[in-house]
Amino acid sequence: MPKAPHIVVIGGGYAGVLAANRLQKAKDAIITLINPRPEFVERIRLHQMAAGNHSATAGYDTLLGEQVRLLVDSALRIDAPIRQVQLASGDVVDYDYLLYAVGSTGGVPSSVPGAAEHAHPLSEFEQAQRLRERLQDVPMSAPIVVVGGGLTGIEAAGEFAESGRAVTLVTDVVGASLGVQARRSVVKALTRLGVTIVDGPDVLVTSVGATEVTLADGRTLPSAVTVWTTGFGVPGLAAASGLTTDELGRLITDETLTSVDDGRIVAAGDAASPSGIPLRMSCQAAGPMGVQAADTVLARIAGTEPAVLNQAFTGQCVSIGRTYGTVQIAHSDDTPRRVYIGGRVGAAVKEQVCKATLTFMAKEGRKPGSYFWFKGRNRARQLAEAGKDTVGAARR
């Protein structure tokens, strides 16, 4: 009788959990999910956690299927030739197939003087925890500056302002990924909550101090707490393991999400770069990538040809406090349509999306194969424009 395959999933975020649950379709497989934290982190709620109105966590016992074993540890290195993962605890885990879903990280730029010492990023659980503790140390009247007008910056500014804090949002464009109409909706909601917006094409933070933020034009903004929400990175595990990565450190794969170095390593989520043309870092992209990466592993086990990446974007949701929100409807290639949902209805839709995300993950754990996602032809167009074929796979 052939040995049951051992599939190791590194990373217990949106992509990793869905992938692990999907892999239960291989009834005899042994599935191990390696994650440094004992609880699932709802990254899309970290701004709420920092503001003190949500834990931003969920128990893995409510999300993972019975066939999935959770191993709380950190992966330090992947030894692909001998199929082993070295852990921070000193243990090693052997695998037959590896699913790489380590997600993304956030930080502050070393090029901005004072940012590393005084600014608080908001992309990881521990970062949100430190920011929450810092906010508890300063009076409600203390000024807060949020740097970055993307979705994270908008949500942080709105959440803090609604709690009664004095917030200034500093950015070149508020909601640059949104359409013009949706941006107006966001600005209107932020203004209602009392957020001061300092924006413009030449707005640039040049230094961060303990009590102020300095802009390129010489203006100084008072800031007892500075929140930095621009820029994302990825963990360095793939690069440290000698695997091929892009300039940001994402694992380069073919269109079946298989590593170009090793046919038994498959990647999904923010840390994957299929054909060197990654999808937008987001929960919306990570989930479908997770199940498609799992399907690739299942095909390899079954000895069949895996399908190529096929998913479409539907839009972007942003909450602005608990009262307002904006839902940008998008084309399948992630470009914004003119249609959006704003105000209180937008906030209600965003909240339902957050709740539904966990619901779908848990359902996949109970019933592997139940998760569905939207598909489209935009990926093929992207590849054609880049002069790449639809698979481009390397097998070793």
How confident is the model over 265-277, as pLDDT tens digits?
Answer: 999 999 999 999 9
Q: Which residues contact residue 3 at a Cβ distance below 8 angstroms, ignoring those fewer than 6 apart? A: none
pLDDT for 396 equals 38
Average confidence score pLDDT of the chain: 95
Q: What is the mean pLDDT of residues 376-391?
A: 79
Q: Which residues contact residue 385 at a Cβ distance below 8 angstroms, ignoring those fewer than 6 apart? A: none
pLDDT for 380 equals 82
In this structure, what token pair is assigned to residue 104?
């993304």
How confident is the model over 31-75, as pLDDT tens digits?
Answer: 999 999 999 999 999 999 999 999 999 999 999 999 999 999 999
Q: Are strands 265-267 and 272-274 parallel, antiparallel or unpaired?
A: unpaired
Are 251 and 101 in contact by the 8 Å Cβ rule? The answer is no
Q: How far apart are CA 26 and CA 4, in angstroms?
A: 9
What SS3 class is residue 55?
A: coil
Q: Which residues contact residue 220 at a Cβ distance below 8 angstroms, ignoring those fewer than 6 apart? A: 212, 213, 214
Buried b (16+ CB within 10 A) or exposed e, 244-271: bbbeebbbbbbbbbbbbbbbbbbbbbbb
376 pLDDT higher than 90: no
Residue type at 47 in one-letter notation? H
Are 330 and 311 in contact by the 8 Å Cβ rule? The answer is no
End-to-end CA distance of the chain: 26
With tokens 């302002």, the residue in question is 161
In this structure, what token pair is assigned to residue 91?
């243990």
90 pLDDT higher than 50: yes
Q: What is the mean pLDDT of residues 299-315?
A: 96
Q: How far apart are CA 152 and CA 136, in angstroms?
A: 20
Q: How far apart are CA 214 and CA 155, in angstroms?
A: 23
Residues counted in the chain = 396
pLDDT for 3 equals 85
